Structure 1
């Protein structure tokens, strides 16, 4: 009975203050990373360890570049350098170097 009361309390409390719930119980509308600030300068390609698209439910379509030092940097999907790096890393046709 105590467990069901606690669960009901959490479900009722969540819409009011989701940050008060334990980390494992938080619900997210957009899984993965979303970008809010875009970088607009090219990086040397030797420092790029990987690149991925932001989740499709994010407000802004972006590429997330991970550097060899573990840093993640956001670029607009319209930024030509980021498009080329994405194509190069994912083997898409028409990629240039």
Structure 2
């Protein structure tokens, strides 16, 4: 009779520990990228960018385009690095961004 009670108590304790540890992680990232555009986007079509969270499985840069639709690209691509350098050079120091 004591063995089933002990097993149930251990099971409840394990479930409680798992639930507590999952709850402490907090909510996951708001935006992650799983599909990437490999084609270079013209600089005049991009108005800003942001990087995805480090908690995402794939590092990515999200481009904010003039058309308004975001676009996921790989940060390691040479054209993306050039585009980011161009956008950073355009930004005025002290000006805040809505990204």
TM-score (norm 1): 0.60
The number of residue pairs the alignment matches comes to 65
Deviations 1:3-25 (A, max 9, x none): xxxxxxxxxxxx8xxxxxxxxxx
Note the aligned Cα RMSD (angstroms): 1.6
Unaligned runs of 5+ in 1: 1-14, 16-26, 92-97
Distance 1:68 1:79 in 2: 21
- Deviating beyond 3 angstroms after TM superposition, the runs of 4 or more aligned structure 1 residues are none
Alpha carbons 1:51, 1:85 under 8 Å: kept:
no
More helix by share: 2
Which of structures 1 and 2 has the bigger CA Rg? 2
Distance 1:77 1:37 in 2: 13
Distance 1:47 1:81 in 2: 14
Residue of structure 1 in register with 2:63 after alignment = 65
Unaligned runs of 5+ in 2: 1-18, 20-25, 90-99
Map 1:77-88 onto structure 2 (within 5 A). 77-88=75-86
Map 1:2-81 onto structure 2 (within 5 A). 28-30=27-29, 32-81=30-79
TM-score (norm 2): 0.59
